[in-house]
Amino acid sequence: MHPILKLVVQRIALGLLLLLAVSLLIFAGTEALPGDVAQSILGQSATPEALANLREALGLNEPAMTRYFKWLGGILTGDFGVALTNGQDIGQAIGQRLGNTLFLATSAAVISVPLAILLGLVAARYNGRWPDKLISGVTLSTISLPEFVAAYFVIYLLTQLIPIFQPVAMVFPGMSFWEKLQAVALPVIVLVLVVLAHMMRMTRAAVLNVMQSAYIETAELKGLGPMTVIWRHALPNAIAPIISVVVLNLAYLVVGVVVVEVVFSYNALGQYLVDHVAKRDLPVVQAVGLIFAAVYIGLNILADVISILANPRLRHPK
């Protein structure tokens, strides 16, 4: 087998193993929570018989291991179970919201990743001079703002001072792509502001690190211009650290944006999770937790694979 293929297969296998471990952890974590689901559904005034009946119906009397494997088996066959609070099918509820989450995350990523890398390259090109300081200053101030402050600031600016957007980002099934895009414009702007600095700083640092190499001097002595040197000779060797930070931010865009969702009333996975945590609806919490973990692990495997592919030593062994 080609060594790269072997490495990739290894990474994926490790990822699956990790996911299994996470599922165990999530299940054990929710198991360890104090209190009783049946009690919390029926309230303090429930009769002992009612409680016992409900426990029986929910399968809470079975041993934990049996319930874990039932749960896992269900998920593997696409059955996430039903929500305790409203009896809704969890898979269905998640499906639509996951779409919204991915739509928002993708929109923000498509703008922020190229922009951050470009700004990072420009900052590295003018290292220590005013464009570098300006870019670092602006992006660091936006990352320093808590998301909700940034969000309210953007809302005030773009709906009150210059009223071109709606302050809420409601999306419904049946909206056209363009309408959806307009609806998420404000949260996308906020998310771009939040994730830009991290990726830009890493691009700048990784490129500057490579700029110390002897082959950069070789390129300069060939008479190449500074931007050509950075683009052609520095960036290809700085890919690995940049990718890993980009992926961390992508993962954040998927799993960590609940505050922004709430501010803009955007109906996505984060809000769904928080709602059901408040209601102690454990099957929902477990399912969403597992999906978030899968996103995280999947994206990190992707980063590993890209880093491996970016390394000519692995791509073209001796």
Partner 1 sequence: MPDLLEFKNLRIEATSYPPGEPPRDVVLVDGVSVSVAKGKVLGLIGESGAGKSTIGLSAMSFGRGGVRLTGGEILLNGRNIRGMDAAGLRALRGREVTYVAQSAAAAFNPAKRLMEQVIETTLHHGIMGRAEAEARAVMLFGKLGLPNPESFGRRYPHQVSGGQLQRAMTAMALCPKPDLVIFDEPTTALDVTTQIDVLAAIKEAIRDTGVAALYITHDLAVVAQVSDDILVLRHGKMVEYGTVADIITAPKQAYTQALVSVRSIDHHEKPEAPAVLSVQNITARYAGTTFDVLKNVTVDLPAGQTLAVVGESGSGKSTLARVITGLLPAAQGRISFAGRTLSADLAGRTKDDLRELQMIYQMADVAMNPRQTVGTIIGRPLEFYFGLKGEAKRQRVQDLLDQIEMGKGFIDRYPAELSGGQKQRVCIARALAAKPKLIICDEVTSALDPLVADGILKLLLDLQAREGVAYLFITHDLATVRAIADRIAVMYRGQVVRYGGKTDVLTPPYDDYTDLLLSSAPEMRIGWLEEVLAHRKMESAGN
Q: If binding means CB under 8 A, how many residues of this protein chain bind partner 1?
A: 22
Q: Are 219 and 233 contacting, i.e. CB atoms less than 8 angstroms apart?
A: yes
Select the span of 13-21, 73-81, 180-188, 216-224 touching partner 1 (CB under 8 A).
216-224
CA atoms within 13 A on the CB side of 73: 6
d(CA 197, CA 202) in angstroms, rounded, equals 8
Residues in 70-89 that interact with partner 1 by CB under 8 A: none
The answer to whether residue 131 forms part of the interface with partner 1 (CB under 8 A) is no
Residues 235-254 that bind partner 1 (CB under 8 A): 236-237
User: Bridge partners of 89?
Assistant: 82
Q: Is the Cβ of residue 5 or residue 221 nearer to partner 1 in the bound state?
A: 221
Of 115, 157, 220, 262, which one interacts with partner 1 (CB under 8 A)?
220
Kindly state the smallest distance separating residue 36's Cβ from partner 1, in Å. 53
Q: Does 316 bind partner 1 (CB under 8 A)?
A: yes
CB of residue 27 to partner 1, shortest distance in Å: 38
- Contact between 4 and partner 1 per CB under 8 A: no
Please list, residue by residue across 247-284, b when 16 or more beta carbons sit within 10 angstroms of its beta carbon and e when fewer do. Answer: bbbbbbbbbbbbbbbebbebbbbbbbbeebeeebbbbb
Q: Which position among 18, 224, 305, 306 is part of the footprint of partner 1 (CB under 8 A)?
A: 224
**What residue has token string 């803009």?**
264
Query: CB neighbours (10 Å) of residue 313?
Result: 8
Q: Write down the least CB distance from residue 214 to partner 1, Å.
A: 4
219: contact with partner 1 by CB under 8 A: yes
In sequence order, the 6+-apart residues with CB closer than 8 A to the CB of 105 are 191, 250, 253, 254, 257
Distance CA 37, CA 314 (A): 52
Q: Which C-beta is closer to partner 1: that of 13 or that of 227?
A: 227
Which position among 29, 59, 131, 225 is part of the footprint of partner 1 (CB under 8 A)?
225
What residues contact residue 8 under an 8 Å CB cut-off, 6+ apart?
305, 308
Which spans of this chain sit near partner 1 (rule: CB under 8 A)?
Answer: 213-215, 217-225, 228, 232-233, 236-237, 310, 312-313, 316, 318
